[in-house]
Amino acid sequence: MQKLWSLPCPPRIFMAASAVGKEEYRGPLGEKFDYHDDTDRFGGDTWEHAEEGLAYKTLTLALNKAHLLPESLDLLLAGDLQNQCVATSTGLLPFGAPFLGLYGACSTAGLGLLVAALALAATDAVRTAAVVTTSHNCAAERQFRTPLEYGAQRTPTAQWTATAGGAFLLARDRGRVALPALMAGRVVDSGLSDAANMGAAMAPAAADSLLCYFAQSGDSPAAYDAVVTGDLGREGSAMLSYLLEGQGLFLGEKHLDCGKLLYDFNRQDVHAGGSGCGCSAAVLAAHFLPLLESGAMRNILFIATGALMSPSSLQQGGRVLGIAPAVRLSHVEESDG
């Protein structure tokens, strides 16, 4: 059984930043991102080095916006899609901060926020923490599928790995967005082995987390302005609705998916939508957090979804497992800060 963790003195997000590539900037949220690079290179000479530059740029933006030096970070949590999370570990090397590498596939943004909140709530040794998550389309395609030069066709259910990054700065008592409730999520076997349909593979994990969260919290979807999933895309979002409605839980228009919000389906050929751990991180940082900070939204439930797999596991007949940590994000009134 999953466990809902309620934090009596919830930590807060006090600053966030986002950086994206060309296609992401062309999408509906383009002007909301802090930075974009039309070359997708971010100063790198390979796609893998480009993602390192993306990670460095994203955290630099967040620190500069908050007028903080890297020395102020007591803990830096970061992850990406490259093997051994080398993009964030190498890209963030210059900051010299105490580092924990995380891998939750496309759920890494939610995982990072959850771990950072627990660390801040548990010990006086951590007073300021940063969470950084990135993905790069070209680097991910080379690792998980085929290099872009190969020109392989994608199936209609396939998603477009976002070239995007998000960085979040958290503290105990600073900021207008609190994290009062957390749920780690558990690994769910989707029964699917099609890496070109990750949305459907992640949907059962999202459904499991949502059903457990609402059962244990006693809340209903009506208590939230939005239930935000990370990159289920069109296929996964449809399957999530099917699975939840079969259990009597109806989200309706409350459900918003970062993989569907990031691109314009009429102008951009992204098939089933966006994916990658930078997808939900950038959308959360650029779109949802400002709404929460201003009070335009009061509460959202953020469900970052991840497909746990590797090229080797799939070649050996393994299935795509799913994970979906849940984080409640709530507006804090100025008088409470």
> Is the model's pLDDT at 1 over the cut of 90?
no
For residue 146, what pLDDT is reported? 62
Query: Average pLDDT of 92-115?
Result: 97
What confidence category does residue 271 fall into, taking pLDDT thresholds of 50, 70 and 90? confident
What confidence category does residue 142 fall into, taking pLDDT thresholds of 50, 70 and 90? confident
Sign, CA torsion 230/233/236/239: positive
- In order of 81, 182, 259, 307, the CA distances from 236 in angstroms are 20, 22, 10, 11
Query: Cβ(287)–Cβ(274) under 8 Å?
Result: no
Domain 4-171 falls in which CATH fold? Peroxisomal Thiolase; Chain A, domain 1 (3.40.47)
Continuous H helices in the chain: 22-25, 47-66, 86-91, 108-122, 137-144, 198-217, 233-246, 258-261, 277-283, 289-294, 311-315
Summarised one tens digit per residue, pLDDT across range 75-95 is 999 999 999 999 999 999 999
Summarised one tens digit per residue, pLDDT across range 144-168 is 766 665 556 677 677 678 999 999 9
For residue 332, what pLDDT is reported? 96
Query: Average pLDDT of 304-310?
Result: 90
What confidence category does residue 315 fall into, taking pLDDT thresholds of 50, 70 and 90? confident
- 229 three-state secondary structure: strand
- 42 three-state secondary structure: coil
User: Nearest to residue 278, comparing CAs of 55, 63, 91?
Assistant: 55
> Is the model's pLDDT at 337 over the cut of 60?
no
More confident residue, 288 or 320: 288
- In order of 33, 283, 296, 302, the CA distances from 290 in angstroms are 11, 11, 8, 15
Angstrom distance (rounded) from CA 175 to CA 333? 10
What confidence category does residue 178 fall into, taking pLDDT thresholds of 50, 70 and 90? very high
For residue 129, what pLDDT is reported? 98
- In order of 20, 25, 119, 265, the CA distances from 31 in angstroms are 11, 7, 33, 17
For residue 195, what pLDDT is reported? 76
Residues contacting 202, CB < 8 A, separation 6+: 106, 190, 231, 232, 236, 305, 306, 307, 322, 323, 324
For residue 223, what pLDDT is reported? 97
> Is the model's pLDDT at 258 over the cut of 80?
yes
Query: Average pLDDT of 64-76?
Result: 98
Q: Which two tokens stand for residue 312?
A: 């080797």
Residues contacting 118, CB < 8 A, separation 6+: 5, 182
Domain 177-336 falls in which CATH fold? Peroxisomal Thiolase; Chain A, domain 1 (3.40.47)
What's phi and psi for 215, nearest 5 deg? Answer: -65, -40
Query: Average pLDDT of 22-41?
Result: 97
- Average pLDDT of the chain to the nearest whole number: 93
> Is the model's pLDDT at 24 over the cut of 70?
yes
Same fold flag, 4-171 and 177-336: yes
Q: Which residue has the tokens 């998980």?
A: 144
Summarised one tens digit per residue, pLDDT across range 115-136 is 999 999 999 999 999 999 999 9
Domain positions in the chain are 4-171, 177-336
Angstrom distance (rounded) from CA 322 to CA 337? 36
For residue 27, what pLDDT is reported? 97
pTM of the model: 0.95
Query: Average pLDDT of 54-76?
Result: 98
> Is the model's pLDDT at 6 over the cut of 70?
yes
